[in-house]
Amino acid sequence: MFQVRIHGRGGQGVVTGAEMLSVAAFIEGRHAQAFPSFGSERMGAPVVAFCRIADKEIRLREPILEPDCLIVQDPTLFKVIDVFAGLRGDGYLLVNTNKTFADLHLGQVVDRLPKGHAVIVPATEIAMKHVGRPVPNAALLGAFAALTQFVHLDSVEHAIGEAFPGKIGAANIAAARQAHEFVLMQQRQSAA
Amino acid sequence: MLKQVEGSHAMAEAIALCRPEVICAYPITPQTHIVEGLGELVKEGALVDCEFINVESEFAALSVAIGASAAGARAYTATASQGLLFMAEAVYNASGLGLPIVMTLGNRAIGAPINIWNDHSDAMSMRDAGWLQLFAETNQEAVDLHIQAFKLAEELSMPVMVCVDGFILTHAVERIDIPTQQQVDAYLPPYDPVQVLDPAEPASIGAMVGPEAFTEVRFLAHYKQTLALKLIPEFSAEFAKGFGRETGGLLRSYRAEDADMLVVAMGSVCGTIKDTIDEMRDDGIRIGLVVIVSFRPFPVEALRNALAGAKDVVVVEKSIAVGMGGQLANNVDASLRNLPRPPRLHSSVAGLGGRPITRTSLHHLFRQASVQPWEGTNFLDLNERVVGREIHRTRKTRRSGPTAENILRQLAKSVPPAAE
């Protein structure tokens, strides 16, 4: 079972992001369970959503306590809550920011993870460019596909298209592709 | 057809396939997405010959369902928590009048203090109201139970409450098999009421009944619930034939064959318990689970048979009868009472007001039950430090203030802010 925890703020599409990821896994014939952190959601408040992916039925109903991957949609959350709680030693970290890990004082956290398991993506910038709104969720899923290779970009694109038909969907798919390419480029650079 | 959808959305689709003719709705979290979904289906024209009535309160929602059902329409509504309390009088009326309404309960705690999260307090508040109460373990079962519920309700002329864990199931997006209209039509015949208000043949429903007949009316209601004990497994078996999966029924066992310890629970927590049991089985511990689907009628005999061979029974439930203990544990106790050598019963209250029930805590609980059993009711993951301080404080000060606010203040002080 692969477990993803998404941290963000109300209005950033955190819950929709987890749902779209589950649809992408479903498209690939896998079992997936997406659920929000169940609270009174309001714009700007910290929000958590979860997605489990497995090859058999998922029965577990506890929140994700030991994620295999953390997606952080808003880097200001690092000061507010313990985002990293339970992150597995061999886990992945994906942060939406236009700064570096050093700027965010996350060097130590990144060093604990296997090489190449932590990446930054300017997903809000990418979303602004394609969608015209600060909604980084779709872009981050594109980046997730590149980082973990756990779902295929095609499935992510399908899932985004299902959630947002028409023009908005196309714009979000474009954002996902660019973020995907952004991560692949980082990986190529660090391999070189 | 397999879909990756939100539980609420899947339930809305399944309810629509049951061809309800009147849907009365008043929104309350976490049930809202279900009636919203149905509203959309009516508006789009996907659900035909159905009147969707927006009402001004939960009391009105069930009252309109009562009127519609008495006039011969297949009627549906949904609610949760305080909404169920607000319709309480109508809840008793629906069953007292023998009207086959189906209602979804998106299980949620009851205030005060205000809490919108999941537990089973709402369902327990109406456990003696004369409705059938069926608890879904998964969203697939939630879908399937609604289809079985209409059939049961109409066969018995009694209302059925389908209890679905709020948020945990209603808001989870997962793989759910949505049946076809043909499957549902083959299983669920059109509503043929046993009593109906018809101007052509005037009759009254809801007479005033004095001491000369009230006992007999109640006896017959109780008798009908005993009939339900036979019908629920029958309709579940028939469902399995038509839909290819086994859901519903009175109860089901998991890895119970040779178990020394059996856990009893209802609803979505059974999934987490099953995973915990698998881990403990790997460690050689003989533990199993009995999932209660039908809480009303309570399957006393079936449960007695299921539990008879165990040494220990641990009841995990998401509600508390304050001053008494867990309601489910008390009901389980009733089914063990007449065994020559009954298992030891251990009662644990867990997951109140949305507190997560984790495998770690369940492991600990089940081990404790066999090694170091407790007296009375165990509150899983109780913060004893906070409770102790509050008891101490209220003893010291007469005007000690509101408990909930005091505890929140204590917690705010004790949690250090995240590292800068």
Residue range A167-179, pLDDT digits in tens: 999 999 999 999 9
Best A41, A61, A66, A158 residue to mutate vs chain B (most B CBs within 10 Å): A61
ipTM above 0.90, yes or no: yes
Q: What's the pLDDT at B419?
A: 40
What CA–CA distance (Å, rounded) separates A4 from A69?
5
A23 touches chain B (CB under 8 A): yes
Q: What's the pLDDT at B416?
A: 55
Neighbours of B305 (CB within 10 A): 13
Bridge partners of residue B347, in order along the sequence: B315, B377
B168 touches chain A (CB under 8 A): yes
Cis before B100 (ω within 30): no
Say if strands B2-6 and B173-177 run parallel, antiparallel, or are unpaired: antiparallel
Interface of A with B in 44-103 (CB under 8 A): 58-63, 65, 78-82
What CA–CA distance (Å, rounded) separates B96 from B129?
8
B268 touches chain A (CB under 8 A): yes
DSSP single-letter state for residue B314: E
- Helix then strand count (H, E) for chain B reads 15, 15
Across the interface, whether the CB atoms of B418 and A62 are under 8 A apart is answered no
Across the interface, whether the CB atoms of B272 and A60 are under 8 A apart is answered yes
CA distance B167 to chain A (A): 6
The residues of chain B scoring below 70 in pLDDT are 415-420
Q: What's the pLDDT at B415?
A: 62
What CA–CA distance (Å, rounded) separates B349 from B334?
18
Q: What is the mean pLDDT of residues A133-138?
A: 96
User: Considering the domain B251-379 in this protein, what is its CATH number?
Assistant: 3.40.50.920
Q: What are phi and psi of A47, to 5 degrees?
A: -130, 145
> Are the CB atoms for B110 and B122 separated by under 8 Å?
yes
CA distance B272 to chain A (A): 4
A16 touches chain B (CB under 8 A): no
DSSP single-letter state for residue B105: E
Interface of B with A in 273-292 (CB under 8 A): 274-275
What CA–CA distance (Å, rounded) separates B205 from B65?
14
Chain B residues touching A106 at Cβ < 8 A: none
Say if strands B294-296 and B132-135 run parallel, antiparallel, or are unpaired: antiparallel
Unique residue bearing structure tokens 């959503």: A49
Q: Residue A160 has which token pair?
A: 């985004």
According to CATH, where is 3.40.50.920 located in chain B? Answer: 251-379
Bridge partners of residue B312, in order along the sequence: B261, B344
Q: Where are the alpha helices (DSSP H) in B105-197?
A: 121-125, 139-156, 181-187
Neighbours of B208 (CB within 10 A): 5
Confidence of residue A72 (pLDDT cuts 50, 70, 90): very high
Interface of B with A in 224-243 (CB under 8 A): none
The H-or-E segment that residue B331 falls in is helix B327-336
Across the interface, whether the CB atoms of B268 and A61 are under 8 A apart is answered yes
Domain B2-243 sits in CATH 3.40.50.970? yes
> Are the CB atoms for B131 and B62 separated by under 8 Å?
no
Q: Which of B21, B15, B275, B287 is closest to B150 using CA atoms? A: B15
pLDDT at A38 over 70: no
Buried-exposed string B155-175: b where 16+ CB fall within 10 A, e elsewhere: bbebbbbbbbbbbbbbbbbbb
According to CATH, where is 3.40.50.970 located in chain B? Answer: 2-243
What CA–CA distance (Å, rounded) separates B202 from B211?
26
A60 → closest Cβ in B171, B275, B419: B275
Bridge partners of residue A71, in order along the sequence: A6, A94
pLDDT at A39 over 90: no
Q: What's the pLDDT at A40?
A: 62
DSSP single-letter state for residue B298: -
* Rounded-to-10 torsion of CA B63, B66, B70, B73: 110
Q: Which of B44, B68, B47, B9 is closest to B184 using CA atoms? A: B47
Confidence of residue A44 (pLDDT cuts 50, 70, 90): confident
What CA–CA distance (Å, rounded) separates B402 from B391?
12
The H-or-E segment that residue A94 falls in is strand A92-96
What CA–CA distance (Å, rounded) separates A100 from A105?
9
Say if strands A2-9 and B344-349 run parallel, antiparallel, or are unpaired: unpaired
The H-or-E segment that residue A33 falls in is strand A31-36
What CA–CA distance (Å, rounded) separates B418 from B420?
6
Q: What's the pLDDT at B413?
A: 87
Q: Which of A104, A43, A118, A102 is closest to A75 using CA atoms? A: A104
B167 → closest Cβ in A38, A60, A65: A38
Across the interface, whether the CB atoms of B420 and A22 are under 8 A apart is answered no
> Are the CB atoms for B14 and B146 separated by under 8 Å?
yes
Buried-exposed string A91-116: b where 16+ CB fall within 10 A, e elsewhere: bbbbbbbeeebeebebeebbeebeee
Neighbours of B142 (CB within 10 A): 30
Q: Residue B327 has which token pair?
A: 């309601």
